[in-house]
Structure 1
Amino acid sequence: MTGYLVTGAGGFIGSRVLQRLLVQDPDARITALVRPSSLPRFGRLLESVDGGDRVVTVTGDLTSRDLGITDVGALGDIDHVVHLAAIYDMTADTASQEEANVEGTAKVAALAVRLDAMMHHVSSIAVAGDWDGVYTEDDFDLGQGFPTPYHRTKFEAEKAVRDTAGLRWRVYRPSAVVGDSRTGEMDKIDGPYYFFGQLALFGQLPSFLKMPMPNLGAINLVPVDFVADAIAALITHRPDDDGLVFHLSDPQRRTITDMFNTLAPAFDAPRGFDALPHTLIRPILAAGSRGPLRSARGLLAAQLGVPDVMFDLISLPVDFRSDDSIAALREADVDLPDLAEYGPRLWSYWRDHLDPARYRRSDLRGPLVGKNIMITGASSGIGRAAARMCVTRGANVFLVARSADRLTEAADEMNAENAKAGLPAGQAYVYPADITDEPAVQTLIKSVLTEHGHVDVLVNNAGRSIRRSTLNAADRSHDYRRTMAVNYFGAVHLILALLPHMVERQSGHIVNVSSIAAQSHGPRFGAYGASKAALEAFSDATAAETLSDHVTFSTVRLPLTRTRMIAPTEAYQTQPGIWSVDKAASRVLRAIVDRPKQINTLLGDLVDFGHHAVPRLTNRIMHQEFLMLDESEAALGKKS
């Protein structure tokens, strides 16, 4: 029986190596070193793996003293230590990479010596750094430089293995690892995946074109299943040969244009050809890594959603050779799949599972089909009408208000109408909540996310309006607090609760139903107008912060609308020009679908212009309105 100790056995590569060792060595007894935080996930992995009962789990961590293993003797007989655990994230901070990749590897090497086991160290193409020329399995320290901390730590980790006295070792250097060649499965966006979103833009061009492209340099990609197959096969077929280095890479030299051409069929893009030689492009790329262009490059990277460090990797000149390794793998019946064949599968998996923009795509049947929309104040008036319009267009709408009975009535009505009309499968759901109660809002959001997974659009429609002159409110400061509690703080509670979720999904839209009062600053609406203006200011500031995260805001400034809110004011019962609920709701619908920054009315814009162009005249006109329209009896306390 062969004993294996595997670090990183729950990782993207490690989990596959573990499964292959179990298959290729039926007598294998595998001990997996797993971090405590990863135990639940690793346990689920073993449940789905044939031979998982032959795996013993030991908790530990590369950053802990003695790897966190309290009793080395309890590991039993270990013949091979397979070291895959490391930080593979090039954007991680230098100290963390040093601690895990270098110091952690040194600890694993010391343990292998203590166990008298062969150490199989999974290194990386990164050890070649910026070496300008051929780099073979026999090469290591050629005086190369290292463009990132990741490159340096991979070099120093391999050096720690080579320098450990009494250690029998073997090194495996994969090139850039991409998804599974059969399924396209990838665990995260990394390496070339960062640029897939930009490459997708070429899919808008006619596919018959031939595009001239700059030669941005060579790229070497291998699928994760090949890397796992190769490591497991080399361990089991050549268990005793030490001091060997294997390059798990593509022997065919490809440019970035070549890589693009293998992906292009998946999104019907035209093929490219290298029109500008790399010798002309490389100085431009190098200039962007230093001096005044560095800041500009950083801004570009942030706008594209690409880590700045990725630009340092485009023009690396190393010619990574793997002829001897490929020959050894052929003897072990391991062949490298052709990128031209599996490239489209990589793209398809990225599009469906990893693309940050996947949540922003619209269904071909309509822009709201399948979208999850939360609308507050949805039991009546504008909120109810807007919710009905969204449901009929195929959206799932979460109706929020204080009255559970009215919400249930509204939802039943919408769902019945939708089913009768045979419209797209939109659905209304009831979520009673008081948005002025922050803990209640937190509970609301947790419930919705647990039951429905996500929210695409939040509509802050719930509102309180008080029409009372400031003098008549001199002893009613609570009116201002109540108005702010709903119109401002209620909306802010919801935005704060949903914003991290939307940023994580890189998709979200927030519609604030505001008022012409935020522009006109009309008499008797001091409390109401101030609350709406406060929400607009908060939202504008937040929108400027979340633009790169694809969370956007719309403000809908509505005029007077015939809802229950204006019922106490007798003067409004016969006043012309007041909007209907459906007309106002259609403006909210437009904000949900088209996502403009603002939706205003002509009257609102005219008053706003007057405040800036002729402020004294505008103030006089506002004063005349104040004199012409009396205070309502409700405002005077004569009627509730």
Structure 2
Amino acid sequence: MSYFVTGATGFIGRFLVEELLDHRDGEVFVLVRAGSLARMEALIRRWGSTRVTPVVGDLSADGLGVDPSWVAEHRGEIEHFFHLAAIYDMTADDATNETMNVGGTRQALALAGALEVGCFHQVSSVAAAGEFQGAFDETMFDEGQHLPSPYHRTKYESERIVREEASVPWRIYRPSIVVGDSQTGAMDKIDGPYYFFSLMKTMRDALPAWLPLGSVDMGDTNVVPVDYVVKAMDHLAHLPGHDGEAFHLVNPEPQPVVDMINAFCAAAGAPTFALGLDRGLVRRLPRAIQPAGLLSAVGRLGPLQSALDLITSRFGVPAEVLAHTSFSAVFDSRRTERALAGSGIAVPDLESYARTLYCYWEEHLDETTARDPRIRAALQGKYVVITGASSGIGQVTAHKVAQAGGIPVLVARGKDKLEDVRAMIEVRGGQALVYPCDLSDLDAIDALCVQLCAELPSVDFVINNAGRSIRRSLRLSHDRFHDFERTMALNYFGAIRLVMGLLQTMQEQKRGHVVNVSSIGVQTNPPRFSAYVASKSALDSWSNVVASELVGDGVTFTGIHMPLVRTPMIAPTKIYDKFPTISPAQAADLVIEAMVERPHEINTLLGNAGAIAHTVAPKLTFRLLNMAYHVFPDSAAAKGEGSSGTRETEQIMLAKIFKGIHW
């Protein structure tokens, strides 16, 4: 059995090809423009499969521009033809929508007919329902609905072409708003609810999370993750007896817009919204004067849209998107649910993966750094050596440096992971260099420094981010002195060996800045972290002394006393899953601030308070820390062995009061 897929380099198409490779046999032919061959070949390497074959063509050409000899050679061999290539963008103009969505569908049908495929699978959208009001089931299509935008019109028109002009069997899939993968968060563009993430980030940074915000009923929306969409499509495509049918790939339970926004606000750590009026009362009003209807009307009126865009564009939200924040139709998906019964394929609750989506956006798609002229001026063309760059804070910092026009020099032990980070940076138009090194091996660091000084035009920044954390009380450490040795080897000796190896080059340049990712523990001295805090304290002290010796040489230091960050390093301590933490992206923003502003230290208010407490009232402070020592157990109990619910409540309460401290 063979497959043909258009739009395989696109978002849904890429996931569909992966799904077919994982669960089906046979060759997968993918349509690709000549100019996109390199990107497709990179995807094929990532998939690690020999079953994907590019077919050069063009969505706007007759028969998709596929060579007639190739068509003749493969006629009758392809069972399933998936047509996904289209514009999925509410902001695209009429001409682009017409060419890609309508013309592309007609040419895809022509090619499918010439190939005599077993079934043509058209990926449409619930947008084909336009502004239909009420229940819109899977048997409905032409109901006289108003089509408010070029996107809605062309989705409707392309579906009509399939229904009326197809010479081969067909099936139609109407997904609702498709967001990233519910397991990984992977997404490749800003669309749908993602337009509002920048605003949520601004709210998080400016307002306390507990602040109540008022709102009005904005109607209902419908969001599904891409992994559900492709799994459902794959299953439905291979079920016998369903040709000539349409399927709604939607959440069976419509989601109130305010609830969706609150799920993402909670994921971001921003304030959430409460309705000022009962939904039932608002729903009794004609839709035209409901808040959702008014917003939709305002978003489509030319002069008002232009005025509104001046405000909303500051937060990355195009005004025309506001016109489509909710659906007037309720999409009945009972046919799809019956067909999927027993497959285990179902739509997960948005609350269960909203944080995954937001974190992926913040770490990979947020362009705040790229838009800041101050950051670009400081980092443009600069070479930034980042240790621990394969994950967590280091990885996100590398993305942000590349966004600002800098060249991140990626250093970590695992070459494969570093290559993945570089590939992601290059896909988004950036540049990165990979230098694998075991930073606990002093000889390896020396060799790295020689290589960097010889191969880099300059060494402008060094980010000492790689680190090892050990959480263990002294009473369990008497026969584990190697914990202290390993922690010092990486966190202290490795860091200063790297700086010392690059120092001569930075002195010769008369410029260079070192950023040490330290810990709030240096200021607060939490129990059970003696090995970790001692190593970070040593790095702080060394940097403070050396900084005084280098005054006038152009080499400066910043120490960041970082609060608890949600990284792989803290993952083994499961109770941290319930603690308030900052994200790797928030931590990376602090690193960027350190490079741009070059302060001596970056601290939190709680960290400063801890340092003052140790100076002003040391005995009381140690008594408080001892209380925490008894509240927070050692590792075995923290995993649930002998830990009571009451004790866990106390732990979480203390963690929220002393937010960001490593307990």
Question: TM-score, normalising length from structure 2?
Answer: 0.55
Deviation at 1:240, TM superposition (A): 4.8
Residue identity in the other structure for 2:214: P
Which AA in structure 2 matches 1:171?
I
The answer to which of 326-335 and 35-44 deviates more is: 326-335
Corresponding residue for residue 96 of structure 1: 96
TM-aligned CA deviation for residue 589 of structure 1 = 8.5
Q: 1:45 aligns with which of 43, 55, 69?
A: 43
Query: How far does residue 300 in structure 1 lie from its aligned partner after superposition?
Result: 2.3
**Candidates 301, 312, 336, aligned match of 2:347:** 336
Q: Residues 102, 269 of structure 1: CA spacing in aligned structure 2 closer, same or farther, 3 A cutoff?
A: same
**Does the 8 Å contact 1:148/1:309 carry over to 2?**
no
Deviation of 1:246 after TM superposition, in Å, equals 0.7
| Inter-CA distance 339–59: structure 2 relative to 1 (3 Å threshold) | same
Any stretches of 5+ residues in structure 1 without a counterpart?
376-389, 396-406, 429-587, 594-640
List per-residue Cα deviations over 1:297-345 (Å, max 9, x = no partner).
Answer: 2322333332232122125412122122123223333121211100111
Report the alpha carbon displacement of residue 424 of structure 1 after superposing the two structures with TM: 12
Q: Report the CA distance between 1:152 and its aligned residue.
A: 0.7
> Structure 1 CA distance, aligned partners of 2:312 and 2:58?
33
Q: Counterpart in 2 of 1:57?
A: 54
1:3 Cα offset (Å): 1.9
Change over 3 Å in CA distance of 1:424–1:59 after alignment to 2: farther
Does the aligned pair in 2 maintain the 1:178–1:186 contact within 8 Å?
yes
Rounded to whole Å, the distance in 2 between the matches of 1:211 and 1:166 is 55
Cα distance between partner residues in 2 of 1:165 and 1:275: 50
The answer to whether the Cα contact below 8 Å between 1:246 and 1:325 also exists between their aligned partners in 2 is yes
**Counterpart of 2:291 in structure 1: which amino acid?**
I
What is residue 231 of structure 2 aligned with on the other side? 229
Q: 1:244-293 CA deviation, whole Å, 9 max, x = no partner? A: 11111111111111112222332223432322436431353124532753
In 1: Cα distance, 2:321 partner to 2:112 partner: 34
**Cα offsets for 1:336-388 (capped at 9, x unmatched):** 121110011111111111122145799xxxx999897999xxxxxxxxxxxxx
Q: Find the counterpart in structure 2 of residue 262 from structure 1.
A: 263
Deviation at 1:212, TM superposition (A): 2.5
- The count of residues paired between Structure 1 and Structure 2 equals 400
Correspondence 1:127-166 to 2 at 5 A: 127-166=128-167
Q: Distance in 2 between matches of 1:303 and 1:417?
A: 33
**Matched-pair contact (CA < 8 Å) for 1:83–1:122:** yes
Q: 1:215 to 1:79 in 2, by over 3 A?
A: same
Structure 2 distance, partners of 1:95, 1:102, is: 10
How far does residue 25 in structure 1 lie from its aligned partner after superposition?
1.9
Residue 189 (structure 1) aligns with: 190
CA contact (8 A) 1:282 1:315 kept: yes
RMSD over equivalenced CA pairs, Å: 3.8
Identity of aligned residues (%): 39
Unaligned 5+ segments in structure 2 are 385-396, 407-459, 466-503, 516-538, 551-596, 603-663
Deviates more, 1:339-348 or 1:206-215: 206-215
SS of the aligned residue for 2:88 comes to coil
The one-character-per-residue Cα deviations of 1:387-410 (angstroms, maximum 9, x if unpaired) are xxx979999xxxxxxxxxxx9785
Secondary structure of the structure 2 residue equivalent to 1:43: helix
2:287 pairs with 1:301: no
Structure 1: which amino acid aligns with 2:294?
Answer: I
What amino acid sits opposite 2:23 in the alignment? Q
Letter in 2 for 1:73: A
Label 1:422 to 1:33 Cα distance change in 2 as closer, same or farther (>3 A). same
- Residues 410-450 of structure 1 show CA distances to partners (whole Å, capped at 9, x for unaligned) of 54555599999626999x9xxxxxxxxxxxxxxxxxxxxxx
Change (3 A) 1:347 1:423: farther
Letter in 2 for 1:128: A
Contact 1:218 1:256 in 2 (8 A): yes
**Distance (whole Å) between structure 2 residues aligned to residue 92 and residue 374 of structure 1:** 28
Separation of aligned partners in 2, 1:46 and 1:62: 21
Alignment-derived partner of residue 422 in structure 1:
543
Aligned to 1:250: 251
Kept in 2: contact 1:127–1:154 (CA 8 A): yes
Which letter does structure 2 place at the counterpart of 1:246? F
Query: Are 1:188 and 1:354, in contact at CA under 8 Å, matched by a contact in 2?
Result: yes
**Letter aligned with residue 284 of structure 1:** L
Contact 1:147 1:313 in 2 (8 A): no
Pairwise CA distance, 1:123? 0.6
Change (3 A) 1:202 1:139: same
1:321 aligns with 2:332: yes
Query: 2 CA distance for matches of 1:16 and 1:417?
Result: 41
| Equivalence for 1:116 | 116
Deviations 1:532-577 (A, max 9, x none): xxxxxxxxxxxxxxxxxxxxxxxxxxxxxxxxxxxxxxxxxxxxxx
Report the 3-state secondary structure (helix = DSSP H, G, I; strand = E; otherwise coil) of the residue aligned with 1:167: coil
Residue in 1 aligned with 2:368? Answer: 357
CA distance in 2 between counterparts of 1:302 and 1:281 reads 21
Whether the 8 Å contact between 2:183 and 2:353 is mirrored in structure 1 is yes
Kept in 2, the 8 Å contact 1:216–1:282? The answer is yes
1:542-621 aligned at under 5 Å gives the runs none
When normalised by structure 1's length, the TM-score is 0.56
Instruction: Give me the whole-angstrom Cα distance separating, in 1, the residues matched to 2:193 and 2:265.
Output: 14
Q: Is the 8 A contact 1:133 1:317 kept in 2?
A: yes
